[in-house]
Amino acid sequence: MLYTPIQFRNIELKNRWVMSPMCMYSCENGLANDFHFVHYGSRSQGGTGLVVVEATGVEPRGRITNHCMGIWTDEQAEKLQKIVEFVHQNSDSKIGIQLAHAGRKGSTWNNIQIPIEEGWETLAPSPIPYHPTERIPHVLTVEEIKEQVQNFKTAARRAVKAGFDVIEIHGAHGYLLHQFLSPLSNIRTDEYGGSFENRIRFLLEVVDVVNEELNEDVALFVRISGTEYAENGWDIESSIELAKILKNHKVDLVDVSSGGNIHGVKIPVFDGYQVPLSSQVRNQAEVKTGAVGLIKSTEQAEEILQKGEADLIFIAREILRNPYIAVQGSFEMKEDCFFPHQYLRAKISS
């Protein structure tokens, strides 16, 4: 299974390993640099089916920190294009990008809000900060929501031009789109708040405009938090309902993470702790899903796929430790996987 290719639109992933998006906080003015070139390039050399570039701001205030990646200028997209071209020319990997807006969780450093003069006024659906000590965010007007929808559209256009194979919309971890989904962070009384249909409206509008920029050669994923572990908050039932709707809006895969929107909640963490969320979304909404969270070995990843709990395995911290996890797993399982031809002598250990 792990080494069985899978297709999303015209994009074929050679295996089910995905490098999960991970902020590296290493950009100046949102620009990718040599570090990112090596960082993403090396995971492609490791045989990873899909490499997903970190949360990338669709506008300056969409970043979490001043050093996050951005794609609101042509120059930013051109730097990313160099990475995309390297991956396409030197590996079997496909490459995606996560488009994000931090909303009320922006303007931080090391998870602590920075002064407005060093950062910016954050944005949110309602005047509720993530942490009580933080500044009250600016409440988006309907017109401003429409502008943000356009920011995602323009970002998607730039990403497609740069050659990305997959666009992932970041609807998880308490960032702007998740803030709209949750009745705890969204207490609006207009068409973007209140009922489930109203709270998912912003995300669906983003999905639709991003899809307008895509063709059959670029697939669309959405990352969600399967639950936010809070009473009366966004939960797995809401996620399943949303996933059914996303499927009808031409979303190819739902990447199921959790948490991030409600400060201080208790998260039960164990190996594969979010896999049951992926499994429920996959099997009840009948969509393709990605599982993520404390997946660390080939054996564990294979078992998740065999049990029908996910279609893709997103790995984050383990692939930072081991960029070659996909190719190494293929040696263990005696399966085919890309390995740089320059390294072929290392296929034999003695």
Ligand X SMILES: Cc1cc2nc3c(=O)[nH]c(=O)nc-3n(C[C@H](O)[C@H](O)[C@H](O)COP(=O)(O)O)c2cc1C
Is residue 265 a contact point for ligand X (CB under 6 A)?
A: no
Q: Which helix (H) or strand (E) holds 38?
A: helix 34-45
The beta strands (E) that lie in 20-62 are given as: 50-57
Interface of this chain with ligand X, residues 85 to 104, rule: CB under 6 A: 98
Q: For ligand X, which stretch binds (CB under 6 A), given 39-47, 145-153, 287-295, 298-306?
A: 287-295
Is residue 228 a contact point for ligand X (CB under 6 A)?
A: no
Is residue 170 a contact point for ligand X (CB under 6 A)?
A: yes
CB of 314 to ligand X, least distance (A): 6
Binding residues with ligand X: total (CB under 6 A): 20
Residue (286 or 299) nearer to ligand X, CB: 299
Is residue 47 a contact point for ligand X (CB under 6 A)?
A: no
Is residue 293 a contact point for ligand X (CB under 6 A)?
A: yes
Residue 124 falls in which region: left (phi positive, over 0), alpha (psi -120 to 50) or beta: beta
CA distance 12 to 49: 9
In this structure, are residues 147 and 91 in contact, taking their beta carbons and an 8 Å threshold?
A: no
In this structure, are residues 244 and 276 in contact, taking their beta carbons and an 8 Å threshold?
A: no
CB of 67 to ligand X, least distance (A): 12
Residue (43 or 170) nearer to ligand X, CB: 170
In this structure, are residues 15 and 25 in contact, taking their beta carbons and an 8 Å threshold?
A: no
Give the residue carrying structure tokens 């702790």.
273
Q: For ligand X, which stretch binds (CB under 6 A), given 16-24, 147-155, 159-167, 190-198?
A: 16-24
Residue (262 or 340) nearer to ligand X, CB: 262
Using alpha carbons, select from 268, 292, 254, 63 the residue that is nearest to residue 175: 63
Is residue 54 a contact point for ligand X (CB under 6 A)?
A: yes
Residue (38 or 198) nearer to ligand X, CB: 38
CA distance 105 to 87: 31
Is residue 173 a contact point for ligand X (CB under 6 A)?
A: yes
Residue (193 or 303) nearer to ligand X, CB: 303
In this structure, are residues 112 and 65 in contact, taking their beta carbons and an 8 Å threshold?
A: no
CA distance 309 to 74: 39
Is residue 18 a contact point for ligand X (CB under 6 A)?
A: no
Sign of CA dihedral 265, 119, 66, 124: positive
Binding residue for ligand X (CB under 6 A) from 292, 325, 327, 337? 292
> For residue 95, what are its two tokens?
């490459």
CA distance 259 to 234: 9
Q: For ligand X, which stretch binds (CB under 6 A), given 34-42, 116-124, 298-306, 315-323?
A: 315-323
CB of 70 to ligand X, least distance (A): 13
In this structure, are residues 65 and 77 in contact, taking their beta carbons and an 8 Å threshold?
A: no
Is residue 254 a contact point for ligand X (CB under 6 A)?
A: no
Residue (35 or 343) nearer to ligand X, CB: 35
**What is the binding site for ligand X (CB under 6 A)?**
20-23, 54-55, 98, 170, 172-173, 223, 257, 292-295, 315-318
